[in-house]
Amino acid sequence: MLPINGSLVLGVISLTYIRPIDLCVLCVFVVRSSRSLARLYFRTHFTHQTLREPIN
């Protein structure tokens, strides 16, 4: 696994709990930081959103 800045990891983890408009702004930072981190962010975010949605 690649070494990652601790604050960036905390940021990526906390992004899933922030309002969508803030997610868009902070996502740009993640994408600029690293393509692999961007993939990790999107995977974490969409997995979290899927788990939160009620089943109809």
For the question of whether the overall pTM of this predicted structure is more than 0.85, the answer is no
Q: Is residue 30 part of a domain?
A: yes
Q: Is residue 31 part of a domain?
A: yes
Range(s) of the domain holding residue 13: 6-50
Q: What is the mean pLDDT of the chain?
A: 56
pLDDT tens digits for range 15-41:
445 455 555 556 556 556 556 666 676
User: Strand, helix or coil at 3?
Assistant: coil
User: Strand, helix or coil at 6?
Assistant: helix
Q: Is residue 35 part of a domain?
A: yes
Q: Is 3:36 a contact under the CB 8 Å cutoff?
A: no
Q: Is residue 55 part of a domain?
A: no
Whole-number Å distance between alpha carbons of 17 and 28: 17
Whole-number Å distance between alpha carbons of 42 and 51: 14
Residue 11's pLDDT is 53
Q: Please state the domain count of the chain.
A: 1
Q: Is residue 56 part of a domain?
A: no
Residue 44's pLDDT is 72
Q: Is residue 14 part of a domain?
A: yes
Q: Is residue 1 part of a domain?
A: no
